[in-house]
Amino acid sequence: MANSTNLKPPSTREARERGRKGGKASAAAKARKRTFREVFEAVLEMDIDRTISGQSDKIADKFGGKITVHEAIAMAIASKAIDGNLDAAEMIRDTIGEKPADSINLNNNMSLEGKLKRIVGDKF
């Protein structure tokens, strides 16, 4: 029976081979898994002559297989955006990386002395 006293560490060759197999499996899993950004970009490229849900076969063809839940969610959100839901449209925009930068007003005309007095009080 295996326990911590009779286990042998793998040889360098065995460790390298196991690492190689793990790396290949990881790469294959990453290739299968698409990000929402990729899915939304594909959905945004579709024509809207039919409903989005009717175009699931186009998405399946583009990504080579069946529709995943991930892709179905993206299509449902895109359909809501087309129907006028601004929250859905903003979610898509933000997900594909087109979110406008939040602007912060950094104009502060107070002098350094005024800032120190504000922080420390009249002790300055």
Q: What is the mean pLDDT of each run of 10 residues along the chain (124 residues)?
A: 75 91 86 73 68 62 69 82 89 82 66 74 64
The pLDDT value recorded for residue 13 is 92
Structure tokens at 3: 């326990």
Q: Quote the CA–CA distance of 124 and 102 in Å, as a whole number.
A: 35
Supply the pTM of this predicted model: 0.43
What's the chain's average pLDDT? 76
Half-sphere exposure of 15 (CA within 13 A, CB side): 5
- Domain ranges in the chain are 20-102
Give pLDDT tens digits for 73-102. 888 888 888 889 999 989 888 888 877 776
The pLDDT value recorded for residue 20 is 93
Neighbours of 90 (CB within 10 A): 12
Could you report how far apart the first and last alpha carbons of the chain are, in Å? Answer: 76
Q: What's the chain's Rg over C-alpha atoms?
A: 27
